[in-house]
Every structure is written in C-alpha cells, then in structure tokens.
Chains A and B, each alone.
Chain A
Amino acid sequence: MSRKQPDNIEDGYNCLWQAMVPSYIQGELSEKELVQFEDHLGGCSACQVYVAEVRHLIRQFQKTLPGPLTRDLVPGILERIPQDAWTQDTSPVLPRRPRLFHFTKAAACLLLALASAWLIFYFSGRHERSLLPDTERQAHKKETVSRESQVVAQALDWLAKVQEPTGAWDGEKWGGQRNYTVGLTALALLSFLGSEQVPAHGPYSDTIDRAVNCLLQQQNTEGYFGPPHSGAMYNHGIATVALLEVYRLTKDTKLKIPLDRAVKYIRTTQTADGGWGYFGGFIDSANTSISIWQLHALILANRVGWESTKKNIEKGLAWLKTMINREGRVGYSGPGDFPYGSETLTAMGAFCLFASGYEGKNSVEKNTRIKRSLKDIASKQGRDIDYYQLYFLTYALHAVEEGQPDRHMPNVQKALVERQIKSGPHSGSWEPSDRWSSAGGRIYATTMATLSLEADQRAAKIIGWMRGTY
C-alpha cells in the first residue's frame, strides 16, 4: 500500500516535536506529554510520517535474532565457583579459564550427543518401520498419536509450572520481551483450551482461570489488552482470540463486557483499506501479520453473537484478497511485498481465507494457486523449525484439505516431538531457537509447538466454528 505524502513534508522534517517520537512509540511519554504530543500529531502530517518511519524501523530491528546459545553456561560457571564459596557471603574474583578448555569440553559433549542419538535411533527401530505392512503401520500411527498426546501433556505441565502467581506467562523471564507477556499469556491459554478444557473443570482449571483473570486485568481504558508499544496489536488480537474461545466454552457473562470493548477496539482501528496496522491504525499502513489476528478475532466474535462485525470482516477479507500475488503467495503490505519471506504470511492468509469460508469468493484458479503454494511450503519444512510458521501452516492445511493432513506434515510433527526437551528444568518445553524467539522466548516456542501438535484435535473445531458449522 502506498503511503499518502503529507502536505508540509519539507518543513515538517525539521519539526522539533520529532525528538519525542521514540518516547511516544515506546510508551515512555508521561500522560501530560502524551496528550500534548497527540494534539500536535493530529495536525502535523510530517510528524505522522516520521512516526510511521521510526515505528517501521524499530519493528525491523525487533525481527532480527542473533542466534541461540551453543552451550549451557551452567556447568562452566559452577566449575569456577569453589564449593566453600557457597557458604560465604563473598568470594574472590576467579581467574578465567582458557578457551581451549571450552573447546575440548564442547567437542566431548558433541561426541556424546552424536553417540546418544545413534543409539536412540538404532534401538527405537525407526529405520524398520517404513517396511511395515498396512496393519502394523496403522498401529504405529496410533502409537505416534499417543506419543504426541504425551508430548502435549508434558508441555502443558511445563507451562502450568511456569505460570506466574498473577496468572501471566512472563515473556522476559523466559528469554522474550516483557512487552509481549500479554500475547504469550493468551497463547498459553489457547494451548490449555486445545483439549476443550472448561475453566470450571479439568486438571488445569485453576491455571486457565488465573490466565483469564490476568488478561482481563490487562485491558486498558481504550479497550485493548497490554501495554502501548509497537507490537500492541499482536497482544490485543491474540488475547481477544483466546478470551473469545473461553467465552464460547463457558458463556461466562463476566467476559461479555471486556470482549465487547475488545471487539469494538478492533473494529475502530481497521484502516480505510480494510486491514490493520501497528498500534491501532491511526496513520499506519495495514499489514497481513497484524491483520490476520484481528480478522481471526472478528470472525470468532461474529460466530458467538457480535453480528456487528460482519461488515468489518468482509472488508478485512476483501483487503486480504488484495495481498495475494499471481503465484498464490500472500504479501506483507502488498501482493509482492515479502520483507521476511512469503511462507508464514501465505500460511496465515490461507488459514484465514479458507477457515472463514471466504475462499468461495475467490476464483477456482486463485484457490488452486494458494493451495499449491501451501503444499510447496509444507514440502520445504525441514528440521529448522519456525514455530510461528508451522502453527499457521498446520491449521491452514487443515482448512484447505478439510481434515486430510498433508503428507509432509507427519514428518514435521515428528521432528517437533523429537525437539521437545526431555529432562532438566525445562523438560516439556521447546528451545526458543527460531527467528521470532527474541520476542517471545521459551513461552512462545512452547505454546506454538503445543498448538501445532494439538491441531489434529483442535483444528476441525476451530475451523468449524469459524465457518459457523460447529
């Protein structure tokens, strides 16, 4: 989408108010400053452009990830602390060990890991399973499903264990950013709802209840959930989706008014084009990444009684359709706009279009191209898992294939199962190792992996709900 140029752009670039823009975007202005700045912003088109540029810049930086740790630091640290130091108040600064020591230890660990992997592979007999006859293969499938259930159960146990007393899942504590704690709490809540846990029943009823209350407390006067920052609309969209799902299951009247305000906020922040941008529309350009969560929420809301959302949904889906290019790929802010690749956006777009039933308004040819793109993305899934992409891809494939999983996905899910941490303090979680983990950390990785593994049970219900048939 092209951005409208301000009238006074030449003069405006020297506007003194621009020094306040970073503080404004990052929620660092005092209430008084905020009122003054927004008053100015309303009349200064150059500052509006500057806000969009700086917000875009911050967003670009937030999406880069340096890479995960190559080793756990604990053993090396403990080695350098003498045992008797634990009983003292202070201890002397310890000399550094030479790097060669680390290298030798890393090499030993690597050899040990390779040997263990080979032994596990050999004794698990996986190499023989492809030769099994149909009946035995079916039995193996059941075994795999059962294994996935166990993996999900372990993941939920870990998530329940690390929930804060407030009911939140703290993004920062687990390697992400605190600004996304609300969105992460909502993702964790969704994970617990995967098996249709009703807050009043089940082993995690207290966990769910506390998460719901925590989210409700995060709603501010404007109606959105979480702190004001550049990713606020992610928090809001995901939190609204999660609470709508709870509302569908419980019909708890305490959720009605907060959801009313949340849905209204999404409706009022829809851009003129039909999509949603960062931090509540205003002067933002719409983008697919933000828009999908808002659209998802509106569609769910519509199905449980918020009928006023119908026009917004149609407008949003029509906008989304304009993001699809000739190859059936979905762009970020235009059909050829792929700043971070097309795979995740295409999976997100396909999920929304097909799960909502809106694909009927596309030409058959266009739908075929989208499906082909999805299949292509599925076929390229490797062992380097992008949790966010995998989540949407899994659900999109369910929506497109109507319950018939893509032939590539079992392998991807198997890889996901294998990557779950099996022992130690993080047992049950997944390493925050993909490009979005700098924002969401271990909670993000674990919830996305869990939701992906729950898809076989969950997707049909969600999609049925979105289509109004469940």
Chain B
Amino acid sequence: MSLCNHSDSELMRLVKAGRQEAFVALVHRHQQSLLNFFRRMGAYTDEAEDLAQEVFLRLFNYRSRYRPSAKFTTFLYTLARHARADMMRISRRWPEAGAEISSDSAVTDHEHVLQADTQIDMQSALDRLSEKLRMVVVLSIYQGFRYREIAEVLGIPLGTVKSRMYLALEQLREILNVKETAG
C-alpha cells in the first residue's frame, strides 16, 4: 500500500521505526506548505527553503517526542516557530516588524492611512504587522489552522488568539484602507 494513503501520525510511527520512505513522504506532503509559511512570515525564498529544511531535520531529531495524540501539523509548526525564532536570533536579518509598526505613524495616523495607496501589496501590508499579529494571521488565513491549534502552536490562550486576530485584521484594514472598497 502506498505511503501516500497513510495519515501523518502513521507516517511518524514508521519514521520512529526507522522507515526513511515514510519520512520522505512527510517532507513531500508538507514542504510546500512550510515554505509558504516562512515566505509569508517575511523570509526570502532561499531562506524559507533553508528554514523548511531545518524544520524537517528537527522533526527527525525530535521524532521520539511526537505523540500520536497530538495533531501532527501542530507539532510541525511548533518546530517551525522555534526554528524561525532561532534563525532570527542568529542572523538578525529580518527587521522586527513590531518595532516598525509602533514607531511608524502609518497605522495610528488616520489621515496618513486615508492617503495610503489602496493597492499596497498584500505581503507588504502583512510585513507591517508585528511578529505576534502576523503569526496569527498567517497560521489562520493561509495555513488554515483553527484558533485552538494556533493557541497550541504559539503556547498562548485561545482568547489571546482571538484578540490578536481582531487586532491584526483591524490594522490590515487600516493599512489597506479597506473601508468603502469591500465587495
């Protein structure tokens, strides 16, 4: 039977048993999604691919810590969050978007927002959110995580996910000047 039909947790069980092809199947299944995650979190394509690679290596190294009772993608994206945080600490290449947004008047200055080009690129708008808010948006809107799963990945209460999502969308709405253009 093809490994494609196996669930993630079944594949992880096989990985623990030393089955390389199960690990390969997991990588193929999730590599594009992980790349998308890192790209949307602000990494360049090559950096995103390096990070995705790093996450899969950690997945292999931590394979014994995975419990089938936990959802695999929650486990994988927890590793992804840590890998990204580590790389940011090492390279400090990516700007701390949160610092930008708090000192930039773009979000708080309503007049400025109204003058902003409504055609601002979606990724640029996302880049202007703080790290915390952007993470919630990316996991929810792009990666399709439920709020409780995001809470698990980020290690925060469910209510905090909800409030961050609201704040993030409020800021994006202002940045993109969505008012009167929805439809």
A contact set with B: CB distance below 8 Å = 1, 3, 18-19, 21-23, 26, 28, 49, 52-58, 60-62, 64-74, 76-78, 80-81, 85-87, 89-94, 96, 99, 102, 161-165, 171-175, 177-179, 285, 287, 333, 425-426, 432, 438, 441
Q: Is the CB of A69 within 8 A of B173?
A: no
Residues of B within 8 A of A49 (CB): 182
Cβ–Cβ < 8 Å partners of B36 in chain A: 65-66, 438
A175 to B73, CA, bound (A): 12
Residues of B with C-beta under 8 A to A22: 162, 165-166, 169
Contacts of A78 in B (CB 8 A): 20, 24
- Among A55, A70, A165, the one with the most B-chain Cβ atoms within 10 Å of its Cβ is A70
Query: A3 and B18 in contact (CB under 8 A), knowing A58-B169, A74-B27?
Result: no
Taken together as a complex, chains A and B put the C-alpha atoms of A172 and B76 apart, in Å, by: 14
Once the chains bind, are A53 and B28 in contact (CB under 8 Å)?
no
Q: List 9 A-B contacts (CB under 8 A).
A: A21-B166, A74-B28, A77-B57, A81-B57, A161-B2, A172-B33, A177-B142, A177-B143, A438-B36
Residues of B within 8 A of A68 (CB): 32, 35
Which B-chain residue is minimally distant from A5 (CB atoms)?
Answer: B180
CB nearest neighbor in A for B34: A73
Given A73-B31, A163-B5, 9 more pairs with CB closer than 8 A: A28-B147, A54-B173, A57-B176, A58-B141, A61-B126, A61-B137, A70-B46, A93-B57, A173-B8
**B183 interface residue per 8 A CB criterion:** yes
Task: Report if B108 contacts A (CB, 8 A).
Answer: no
The answer to whether B45 touches A333 (Cβ under 8 A) is: no
- Of B140, B141, B182, which one neighbours A53 at CB under 8 angstroms? B182
Q: A26-B140, A73-B27, A77-B27 are known contacts. Are A66 and B178 too (CB-CB below 8 A)?
A: no
Chain B, residue nearest A3 (CB) = B183
B101 shortest CB reach to chain A, Å? 17
Cβ of A67 to closest chain B Cβ, rounded Å: 6
Contact of B183 (CB < 8 Å), options: A1, A172, A175: A1
In-complex Cβ contact of B49 among A70, A165, A285, A441 (8 A): A70
Known: A67-B45, A77-B27, A78-B20. A3 touches B147 (CB 8 A): no
- For B183, the chain A residues whose CB sits under 8 A away are 1, 3, 52, 56, 285, 287, 333
Q: Are A69 and B31 in contact, with the CB atoms below 8 A?
A: yes
* Residue contact B142 to A57, C-beta cutoff 8 Å: no
- Give a binary string over B146-183; 1 marks a CB under 8 Å from any A CB, 0 the rest: 11000000000000001101100100110010110111
The answer to whether B2 touches A53, judged by C-beta atoms less than 8 angstroms apart, is: no
Please determine whether B57 and A179 come into contact, CB atoms closer than 8 angstroms.
no
A441, B34: Cα distance in complex, Å: 13
Q: How far is the CA of A460 from the CA of B4 in the complex (A)?
A: 35
How far does the alpha carbon of A115 sit from the alpha carbon of B176 in the complex, in Å? Answer: 46
Residues of A near B54 (CB, < 8 A) are: 96
Which residue of the partner chain B has the closest CB to A65? Answer: B36
CB atoms of B182 and A52 under 8 A apart: yes
Residue on B with the closest CB to A180?
Answer: B144
Contacting pair A28 B182 (CB below 8 A): no
- Sorted from nearest, which 3 A-B pairs have the closest CB atoms? A66-B39, A56-B182, A177-B144
Partner of A23, one of B18, B33, B147, B176: B147
Residues of B within 8 A of A287 (CB): 183
- Minimum CB–CB distance from B50 to chain A (whole Å) comes to 8
B38-61 vs A, Cβ < 8 Å mask (1 yes, 0 no): 011000011011101110111011
Contact at B28–A426, with CB atoms within 8 Å? yes
Q: How far is the CA of A85 from the CA of B62 in the complex (A)?
A: 12
Max chain A Cβ within 10 angstroms of own Cβ: one of B35, B54, B146, B183? B183
Instruction: Kindly provide the distance from the CB of B113 to the nearest chain A CB, expressed in whole angstroms.
Output: 14
| Interface membership of B29, Cβ < 8 A | yes
Q: How far is the CB of A224 from chain B (nearest CB, A)?
A: 19
The CA-CA distance from A96 to B90 in the complex, in Å, is: 13
The answer to whether B122 has its CB under 8 Å from any CB of chain A is yes
B25 within 8 A of A: yes
B141 and A175 contacting across the interface, CB-CB below 8 Å: no
The listed residue (B25, B46, B140, B169) touching A425 by CB distance below 8 A is B25
Set B57, B141, B144, B181: member contacting A61, Cβ < 8 A: B141
Q: What residues on B are CB-neighbors of A1 within 8 Å?
A: 183
A62 touches B61 (CB 8 A): no
Instruction: For the complex, give the distance between the alpha carbons of A66 and B62 in Å.
Output: 29
Q: How far is the CA of A22 from the CA of B33 in the complex (A)?
A: 23
Q: What CA separation (Å) do A22 and B142 show in the bound complex?
A: 14
Cβ B141 vs Cβ A76 within 8 A: no
| Nearest residue, chain B, Cβ from A181 | B144
Compute how far the CA of A22 lies from the CA of B162 in the bound complex, rounded to whole angstroms: 8
Inter-chain contact A175/B142, CB cutoff 8 Å: no
**Residues of A close to B25: CB separation below 8 A:** 425
